[in-house]
Chain A
Amino acid sequence: MNKQWRTGVAAAASLALVLAACGSDDDGGDEASSESVAPTESTGEADDGGGAAACDSPDQVSLQLQWFTQAQFAGYYAAIDQGFYADQCLDVEIKEGAVEIVPQSELANGNADFAIAWVPKALQTREAGADIVNIAQVFERSGTLQVSFADAGITSPADFAGKVIGNWGFGNEYEVFAAIGEAGLDPVADVDLVGQQFDMVALLEGEIDAAEAMTYNEYAQVLEAINPDTGELYQPEDFNVISYEEVGVGMLQDAIWADAGRLADDAEYRDQAVRFVAASLQGWAFCRDNVEQCATTVTDAGSTLGASHQQWMMNEVNKLIWPASTGTVGTIDQAAWDRTVEISKSTPNLDGATVLTADPTDGAFTNDIVNEAVALLDGVDLAGAGYTPIDVTLNEGGE
């Protein structure tokens, strides 16, 4: 009996050893989980970045995304791939998001050096005590839509009355509520608001009349689905699309956030922030001019989205950024900021909660970093005045 026990324990112990060995090489084995890709030789365009000569050991910084690798974050992946970060003497680790990862909290907790987050959500975290600051407003326009079938006749928020309106929750719903309020409707009495998954199945199945969608993702999903009546893909004319940006209740979305305390006290971090923003903006400018290449870069970095979906996303994201009406991408426009804050303060959701209870305290955003970053970039077009989107044809399933 005793002997058998020893054998059993020995077996368990050796299994544990094997496991420990397996575990320790996880970073190597799971290459897709972090993207500290060695920069490939840049394609001739990178030599306009400054400071490349004096870089012995690049600074390690990390960027926390809101979601998995996808073209929504193409500028950062392109900056790695094209060596723009390396030109600025940075070694950037991109951390993917997930359901429970809150980028601005990761930033505030010190788990990441920079984070991408929507402005209202980040301001809410800031109001709760996180010492963070918006250092570059990458997306100038809101990409939120409300999509309905054309025969439902929903062409403006006023038509929401008496209809079943899908919305996402998690702080993604405030533009919907602002539009309802703007149209003079009461969100409780006049509209049937229901929670919606991050897909368009409920709309196609007729469970809801109008679904919340991002231009660059969910809207593409319906256009990649087969219309059972025709046997072909759904066409844009099958739908009515309300853009919250056009309705006038667009809120600022993807921005680069930094740790405000470190920015004030740590000169090295501040310097890294300037260089990080510079290379990131350069990456976005590159993706404006190289839509297909950037889509491929993102897929190479581990996205499982189909090729045409990825290209669509890249093209739509470009439309949210370019042309930069402030003249320089990343610059925070006071009027758009004020509108975002105003809606955040004054729009209650179904629970009666507003995003913010008061104006953000001083220092919620700064244009200083962007201004210094721009000085590092000679000859990069950061205005995109002549920008024209390309045409992307979606295939079934986004492939």
Chain B
Amino acid sequence: MLLAVAIAAGAWELYKALGPPDGGDVFGWRIIPKTNDRVMPHIWEMLAEFGDPEVRGRDTAVWEAMLGYSWYTLRMSLAGLLLGGALGIGLAVLMARFRVVERGLLPYVVLSQTIPLIALAPQVAALGGNWGLPKWTWAAALAAFLSFFPVTIATLRGLQSVPAASLELMDSFAASWWTTLRKLRFPAAVPFIVPGLKLAATASVIGVVVSEVSLGLRGVGFAALSYGQKTTSQPATVYTAVFAAALLGLIMFGLVSAAEAFVMRKRPTEINT
């Protein structure tokens, strides 16, 4: 992974060194980006910004401030992921149980993901304001809206992946649907749910960051917007927020992976295949 980061950084600097400073047009369209310092700051300038004070003359450095913003964003993202995960698995179980629910609901689940988050944000804000919910729950709700989808699809697929022979075996024990779900379907679905949750984890961060920008919560999204105001004279600063957001996505992903390792630690390997 470090290698990948190094390659990306190298590519950025290489293009900056070799590319045309004023960009280039292809058939009248601006295709080739400019490489000057305002449009493409050096990587080391971006990193150096972390060490600068957030406001000159104050004690707080950008990295300290960013740590605070990131922690706030991370907590909302986790809340969003838990909410989205629970909603996703719940919906999938419902759809696996009742065919008619799957037929009726699945198209709307898919449809829901075509609604742009920024169109939804004001509605959530209006509702949340009316109900007197604290603002961070609005962001968590929007994050859950993004993150439930991959979990639903993955869980549904997992629940339906059980071989017919196993189901017939459970039937021959006169096991109830609920028992079959608990002892057979759900364990079989875990290898499907985990990748769904991994997608959901990063989606949750995106959801929270977009909500912060839309609704004004002081996390990483706020930092991106607020530092973005300095783009004219300090183009590198805003990248500190970009790095922080990317890192948060990785952390969320890592948390799901860790949870996976924990849950799967005693599982015989042949089930995993």
Asked if residues B233 and A19 are in contact (CB atoms below 8 Å), the reply is no
Of the listed stretches B8-16, B107-115, B243-251, B261-269, chain A binds B261-269
- Indicate whether A305 sits within 8 Å of B55 (C-beta atoms), given known contacts A68-B216, A205-B39: yes
- Indicate whether A109 sits within 8 Å of B130 (C-beta atoms), given known contacts A30-B72, A307-B55: yes
The docked-state distance in angstroms from the alpha carbon of A1 to that of B65 is 45
Q: Is B48 an interface residue (CB 8 A)?
A: no
Asked if residues A100 and B125 are in contact (CB atoms below 8 Å), the reply is yes
Asked if residues B82 and A15 are in contact (CB atoms below 8 Å), the reply is yes
Tell me, rounded to whole Å, the shortest Cβ–Cβ distance linking B166 to chain A: 13
Question: Contact partner of A100 among B54, B72, B122, B218, CB < 8 A?
Answer: B122
Of the listed stretches A218-226, A286-294, A346-354, chain B binds A218-226
Tell me, rounded to whole Å, the shortest Cβ–Cβ distance linking B162 to chain A: 14
Of the listed stretches A21-29, A79-87, A245-253, A363-371, chain B binds A21-29
Asked if residues A198 and B215 are in contact (CB atoms below 8 Å), the reply is no
Q: Is A399 an interface residue (CB 8 A)?
A: yes
Asked if residues B217 and A33 are in contact (CB atoms below 8 Å), the reply is yes
Question: Contact partner of A221 among B183, B212, B233, CB < 8 A?
Answer: B233
Question: Contact partner of A200 among B129, B227, B232, B263, CB < 8 A?
Answer: B232
Cβ of A305: which chain B residues have Cβ within 8 Å of it? 55, 229-230
Asked if residues B58 and A299 are in contact (CB atoms below 8 Å), the reply is yes
Q: Is A97 an interface residue (CB 8 A)?
A: yes
For the complex, count residues of A whose C-beta is within 8 A of B. Answer: 58
Tell me, rounded to whole Å, the shortest Cβ–Cβ distance linking A86 to chain B: 25
B 38-75 binary contact with A (CB < 8 Å = 1; else 0) = 11000000000000001111100000010000001001
Q: Which residue of B57, B186, B218 has the most chain A CB atoms within 10 A of its CB atom?
A: B218
The docked-state distance in angstroms from the alpha carbon of A8 to that of B258 is 12
The docked-state distance in angstroms from the alpha carbon of A100 to that of B124 is 11
Q: Is B19 an interface residue (CB 8 A)?
A: no
Q: Is A326 an interface residue (CB 8 A)?
A: no
The docked-state distance in angstroms from the alpha carbon of A2 to that of B179 is 11
Cβ of B231: which chain A residues have Cβ within 8 Å of it? 199, 201
Tell me, rounded to whole Å, the shortest Cβ–Cβ distance linking A96 to chain B: 5
The docked-state distance in angstroms from the alpha carbon of A12 to that of B34 is 48
Asked if residues A99 and B225 are in contact (CB atoms below 8 Å), the reply is yes
Q: Is A158 an interface residue (CB 8 A)?
A: no
Cβ of A23: which chain B residues have Cβ within 8 Å of it? 75, 79, 136-137, 140
- Indicate whether A224 sits within 8 Å of B232 (C-beta atoms), given known contacts A33-B217, A100-B215, A304-B55: yes
Asked if residues B187 and A5 are in contact (CB atoms below 8 Å), the reply is yes
Asked if residues A8 and B215 are in contact (CB atoms below 8 Å), the reply is no
A 1-39 binary contact with B (CB < 8 Å = 1; else 0) = 110110110011001100100110011011011000000
The docked-state distance in angstroms from the alpha carbon of A307 to that of B230 is 13
Cβ of B57: which chain A residues have Cβ within 8 Å of it? 307
Question: Contact partner of B214 among A7, A32, A100, A398, CB < 8 A?
Answer: A100
Q: Is B32 an interface residue (CB 8 A)?
A: no
**Minimum CB distance partner of B260 in chain A:** A8
The docked-state distance in angstroms from the alpha carbon of A217 to that of B94 is 53
Asked if residues B266 and A4 are in contact (CB atoms below 8 Å), the reply is yes
Q: Is A194 an interface residue (CB 8 A)?
A: no
Q: Is A50 an interface residue (CB 8 A)?
A: no
Question: Contact partner of B232 among A26, A96, A109, A222, CB < 8 A?
Answer: A222
Cβ of A181: which chain B residues have Cβ within 8 Å of it? none
Cβ of A101: which chain B residues have Cβ within 8 Å of it? 125, 214-216
In the complex, besides A11-B259, A305-B55, 6 extra interface pairs with C-beta distance below 8 angstroms are A23-B79, A26-B134, A99-B118, A101-B215, A205-B34, A304-B54
